[in-house]
Structure formats: C-alpha cells, structure tokens
Structure 1
Amino acid sequence: MSQQSSTLILVLLMVVAFYFLILRPQKKRQQAMQKVMRELEPGDRVLLGSGLFGTLVSIGDKQAVMEISPGVELTVLKQAIVRRATEADEDSVTEDEVGEELEAEATATYDTGDVQPVVRADADAPTGTYGADGDRSNLR
C-alpha cells in the first residue's frame, strides 16, 4: 500500500468518525426538538431557555403566546421554548405561601441601631450658628 492510499483511507475514516460522533447525534436532537414543538398545545406548561415558566395560550408558526402570571401574557419565539415543564422543574410553593412571605417582609422591623454619621476629612466645616443653648439643628 502506498503512502497516498493510506492517507486517503485515514481521511475517509476521520470523515466517517466526524459524521457518527457529531453530525448524526446533532441531527437526532434537532428532530426530537422539532417533534416536541409540533406536539405543543395551548394549556401546556413550558420552560424557556432563559428559565422562565409559562402556560401556552396560543401557538403560531414562528411565535407562541404564553401566560407567565394570571393576566400577563408574553409573546416569544418558538425556538425559545426548551421543553415542557415537569413537576420536578418547578417549586411546589403556592400563591398563598408567596403572599405570606411578602407580607412578613413588609411588616418586618429592622433595628437601625445607633449609627454615627460618616464625616469625610475633606468635607467643608459646618456653616450656620449655634443656638443660645448650643443647639446645632440649624447647621448645614
């Protein structure tokens, strides 16, 4: 066998390996994704590539309208949909629990403590006058 024919065989083997290791699996993933897109229906819970969850309201050729919160609809490209959302994807927090957490945060009191103001060394000296009893309230 000559040097030229062995080089040709090596190149052919590399092309075949490239096809089976890269192109074929990629084509299978693409076909599976197209199948999922064809099977989507309004009412399906989906996950976008950005991590956003929503319920499909309508599906067109290029775009889908999904509801991300009651009364809030979002139009996205169909390519942004990664897959149907499963129960394992989402937390099992109810709307009541979320409302309770927000209410607790809103009513929480924070201890401000006795914090002294920071005075820069290059700050201008206070202006104004002291009151008769040494009151500094009118200083700026």
Structure 2
Amino acid sequence: MPQFGGLIIPLGFLAIFYFLIIRPQQKKEKKVKEMRNNIKVGDEIITIGGIYGKVIKAKEDVVTIEVGADKTKLVIARWAIGNTVSKTDEE
C-alpha cells in the first residue's frame, strides 16, 4: 500500500481539475451547440462579431440573416452564431 501513497495527491488534483474546469466547459459547449442546431427561420440572433439579425433562411451549415433598416442579407456560417435574442433582452 505505501507505493500508492504518492498517487493520492495527483489523483485528487486531477479530480478537482475535472470537476471545476473540464466538466463545466463541456456543459457550456453542449448548450451552445444545441442552441445553434435549434435556430429556425424568424429567430433573432447575434453573431460572434456582434451583428444583430433575423434569420430568413437556415440550411445545414449556413444561415442567411437580414440586418439593418435596408434589410441587407448576409450569409454566415452556423458556428458564427453567438446567441439568440429573446424578447426580454430587447426591453
């Protein structure tokens, strides 16, 4: 049993590292991926570059959004969607 005594502290640190850093990051990535996959026509989004727009067409990897007063259309990659805008955020 003495030969395993030196492994207890590194394994403890590894467990703490996993539960404080790795696991929360995986949950966050899963939530963002789910949000991006659930984007549908009519949703208002914010891109990772800070552009607000309304989804007018959604394909597998590409989303077309409408931005500005003159309704300019932009084609962006689905991974570039940063967040969706809810009605409570606008108020």
Taking structure 1 as the reference length, the TM-score comes to 0.57
Higher helix share: 2
Match of 2:62 in 1: 63
Instruction: Give 1:28-107 correspondences, 5 Å limit.
Output: 28-69=27-68, 70-87=70-87, 89-90=89-90
Rg (Cα) greater in structure: 1
Higher strand share: 2
Aligned residues: 90
Deviating runs (4+, > 2 A) in structure 1? 4-7, 86-90
Compute the displacement of 1:5 (Å). 2.7
- Deviation track 1:30-74 (CA, whole Å, cap 9, x = no partner) reads 111122112211110101111110000111222211011344110
Q: Percent identity?
A: 27
Stretches of structure 2 lacking an aligned partner (at least 5 in a row) = none
Match of 1:21 in 2: 20
Stretches of structure 1 lacking an aligned partner (at least 5 in a row) = 93-140
Taking structure 2 as the reference length, the TM-score comes to 0.84
CA distance in 1, matches of 2:88, 2:46: 12
Q: Aligned partner of 2:52: which letter?
A: F
Compute the displacement of 1:89 (Å). 4.7
CA distance in 2, matches of 1:85, 1:48: 10
CA distance in 2, matches of 1:65, 1:82: 15
More relative contact order, 1 or 2 (CA 8 Å, 6+ apart): 2
